[in-house]
Structure 1
Amino acid sequence: MNFEWIAKYWPLLIDGAVQTVALLVISVSIGFVLAVGLAFARVSGGPVIRNLSLGYSTVFRGTPLLIQLWLLYYGVGSLLPLVPGLRQSFLWPILREGFFFAAVSFTLNFAAYQSEVLRGALLSVPKGELEAGRSLGMSQWQLTRRIWLPRAIRTALPTIAGEIVLQLKATPLAFTVTVMDLYAAAFKVRQDTLLVYEPLLVVTLFYVALTALITRAFGIVEAQVPIRR
């Protein structure tokens, strides 16, 4: 095993790790907010809103993430330069980058999967707790903010942690749209040095360490906020 190349390529590896973590944080944080809205639309929305939410979830969960990513990057991305004035706007430096399309596709995909998790968690909250809140004079917003949503999130924490780990393992797909994430950095190292296993081992250790960190963090949260029976 030869790891002497790390001394030369460590800045590239660090930049790739930052890109990977940034994709994960953006897609998970924004995707979770979208998922909450989609879940409530399924549970308590009207027929139109409920069916729209179901359709969104079905489309994004029923197609591979790679296809969604390519449709955005090669499809929508190829049409953006045709929008009048867009190239001269302050948004163009962001919209022309593959990172933007990767973040959007990962976010929309995560929201679809997470909405199903939260929908099940919302339905699992005992009706007695909601009725108790109403009997105390809580409005629907207060009931949702203080009882329904926190209780559902606590119930879904183990599944949420698993979904975040799956999202982390999907980030190397961003390499296919020119994002210089950690896997892309390892690929660059392989091209330059003709080493195959060593760069991949470094990438593997990073993903294992980050997975362990995510799992540990959620374990601490679960221990601090036990489920009330």
Structure 2
Amino acid sequence: MDFSWIAQYAPLLLSGAWQTVALLVISVVCGFTLAIGLALAQVSSPRWLKLLARGYCGFFRGTPLLIQLWLLYYGVGSLLPMVPGLRGSFLWPVLREGFFFAAVSFTLNHAAYQAEILRGALLSVPKGELEAGRAFGMTPALLLRRIWLPRAIRTALPSITGEIVLQLKSTPLAFTVTVMDLYAVAYKVRQDTLLVYEPLLVVTVFYVCLTLILTRVFRHIEHQVPIRR
């Protein structure tokens, strides 16, 4: 096997790795924030809001991520240039890039899966703990912040970790909308050098190492971080 190309493509590989990590972090942080709202809407909201949240989760969990990504990039993305004044605005350098559509698509998809996990976790919190908080005079917001949400997140942490790892393994789809992530760099190396296995092995090692790091970090959090009371 020939890995002599690594030195030549090192800057591009580092840039691709950064794009991959950035997509993961943005989609996980924004997606989890959105998932909290979606989960709460399904367990403690008016019926119409519950139906909207369930419809959202059903749509994004029921359709392939690749289709969602292409609908945004080739559908919505093709309409944006028609918006008056958008091309000349400060937003255009961001909105014209595939990275933006990949980040949005990954975020919306990740939120749907995490919302279902959080919904089950919220419902699993013992009612006695919530009633005790109300008995102490906690407001609904304080009860959510101090007892209900921390307890649910702690319970769901293993499943949340698994979804984050799955999200990491979905990032190569960004390659299909011109994002130069690590897989896209490997594809370019293959085109330039005609090497097939070596670039893919480098990508594989990166994903395995990042998965192990994520798993170790969240296991540490699971065992060390106490539930706020």
TM-score of Structure 1 vs Structure 2, range by shorter chain: over 0.9
Between the aligned partners of 2:74 and 2:100, the Cα distance in structure 1 is 13
- Match of 2:89, as an amino acid? S
Superposition RMSD in Å: 1.0
- Tell me what 1:49 maps to: 49
1:198 aligns with 2:198: yes
**Contact 1:31–1:111, Cα closer than 8 Å, also in 2:** yes
Between the aligned partners of 1:72 and 1:84, the Cα distance in structure 2 is 19
- Tell me what 1:148 maps to: 148
- Tell me what 1:158 maps to: 158
Matches within 5 A, 1:1-229: 1-225=1-225
**Contact 1:26–1:103, Cα closer than 8 Å, also in 2:** yes
Shift of 1:226: 5.8
Between the aligned partners of 2:50 and 2:35, the Cα distance in structure 1 is 13
**Contact 1:175–1:181, Cα closer than 8 Å, also in 2:** yes
Shift of 1:223: 1.0
Between the aligned partners of 1:5 and 1:221, the Cα distance in structure 2 is 39
SS at match of 1:179: coil
Shift of 1:140: 0.3
Between the aligned partners of 1:102 and 1:79, the Cα distance in structure 2 is 16
Between the aligned partners of 1:187 and 1:63, the Cα distance in structure 2 is 26
Between the aligned partners of 1:173 and 1:223, the Cα distance in structure 2 is 33
- Match of 1:204, as an amino acid? T
**Contact 1:155–1:227, Cα closer than 8 Å, also in 2:** no
Mind listing any 5+ residue stretches in structure 2 that lack a counterpart?
Answer: none
TM-score, structure 2 length as denominator? 0.98
**Contact 1:69–1:105, Cα closer than 8 Å, also in 2:** yes
Between the aligned partners of 1:201 and 1:214, the Cα distance in structure 2 is 20
**Contact 2:150–2:227, Cα closer than 8 Å, also in 1:** no
| Poorly superposed stretches of 4+, deviation over 6 Å | none
Deviations 1:38-88 (A, max 9, x none): 000000010000000000000000000000000000000000000000000
Between the aligned partners of 2:154 and 2:223, the Cα distance in structure 1 is 11
**Contact 2:86–2:92, Cα closer than 8 Å, also in 1:** yes
SS at match of 1:2: coil
- Taking only the aligned residue pairs, the percentage that are identical comes to 77
Mind listing any 5+ residue stretches in structure 1 that lack a counterpart?
Answer: none
Between the aligned partners of 2:112 and 2:161, the Cα distance in structure 1 is 15
Between the aligned partners of 1:227 and 1:26, the Cα distance in structure 2 is 25
**Contact 1:28–1:107, Cα closer than 8 Å, also in 2:** yes
**Contact 1:23–1:171, Cα closer than 8 Å, also in 2:** yes
TM-score, structure 1 length as denominator? 0.98
Shift of 1:225: 3.1
**Contact 1:20–1:171, Cα closer than 8 Å, also in 2:** yes
Between the aligned partners of 1:51 and 1:7, the Cα distance in structure 2 is 54
